[in-house]
Chains A and B, each alone.
Chain A
Amino acid sequence: DAKTTQPNSMESNEEEPVHLPCNHSTISGTDYIHWYRQLPSQGPEYVIHGLTSNVNNRMASLAIAEDRKSSTLILHRATLRDAAVYYCILRDRNYGQNFVFGPGTRLSVLP
């Protein structure tokens, strides 16, 4: 499985945008980029995923570099509820490969 690298922790102020980076230099052409987050004392939840083009949904935006070797999860206006561990995961579209969770980035949001 291709690996991802994320900063251990980041801080943001409430109501400001947050850019969470992820490096995946060994990504293959059929790997999808997934983002999950885990709020305190809860199971992970899906945030967003993409393949090549930038993606938007109600929770966040995903910006994917042209060479696909890095991506950025963008929270447009951080709230206190966005404080969580964010996981960047690669998953091949060939079903059967498993999700591999790294340690993720712990995001703190300051009021």
Chain B
Amino acid sequence: NAGVTQTPKFQVLKTGQSMTLQCAQDMNHNSMYWYRQDPGMGLRLIYYSASEGTTDKGEVPNGYNVSRLNKREFSLRLESAAPSQTSVYFCASIRLDFSTDTQYFGPGTRLTVL
């Protein structure tokens, strides 16, 4: 199993450009998440998808859109990138357990907006 994969690993954008971050998981998990992590900070939730066909806003959704393409894939789109969106973006999926749930994270996408 590859687990959670993310593409690209690195990206540099100019202000106003758009791009889509891709995330896929091969663990048959229902729930998928997008986080951002600014330097020296913890992770903040952008959007999540509890199941295929549903998406919900997290703590910091402004400036982003998401698509849950199918059970495996959950993409994050920046329509008009801003320097404040410079961050490391992590995708995660959740295995639902009998008692609780465990998140599995991808390696991250390092995005710089100039």
Task: Say yes or no: A44 contacts B100, CB within 8 Å.
Answer: no
How many Å lie between the Cα of A32 and that of B102 in the bound state?
11
Residue ID in chain A nearest B110 by CB atoms = A41
Q: Which residue numbers of A lie inside 8 Å of B, CB to CB?
A: 32, 34, 36, 41-46, 49, 51, 87, 91, 93, 95-96, 98-104
Q: Is the CB of B99 within 8 A of A93?
A: yes
Closest to A34 in B: B100
Check A42 against B104 for contact (C-beta < 8 Å): no
- Interface segment among B13-21, B42-50, B65-73, B74-82: the answer is B42-50
State the B residues within 8 Å of A (CB): 4, 33, 35, 40-45, 48, 50, 58, 90, 92, 96, 99-108
Q: Give the Cβ gap from B37 to chain A, nearest Cβ, in Å.
A: 8
Measured between beta carbons, the chain A residues less than 8 angstroms from B106 are 43
Residue numbers in A under 8 Å from B58 (CB-CB): 98
Residues of chain B within 8 A (CB-CB) of A45 are 105
The 7 closest A-B pairs by CB, nearest first: A43-B105, A101-B42, A101-B43, A32-B100, A46-B102, A43-B90, A103-B42
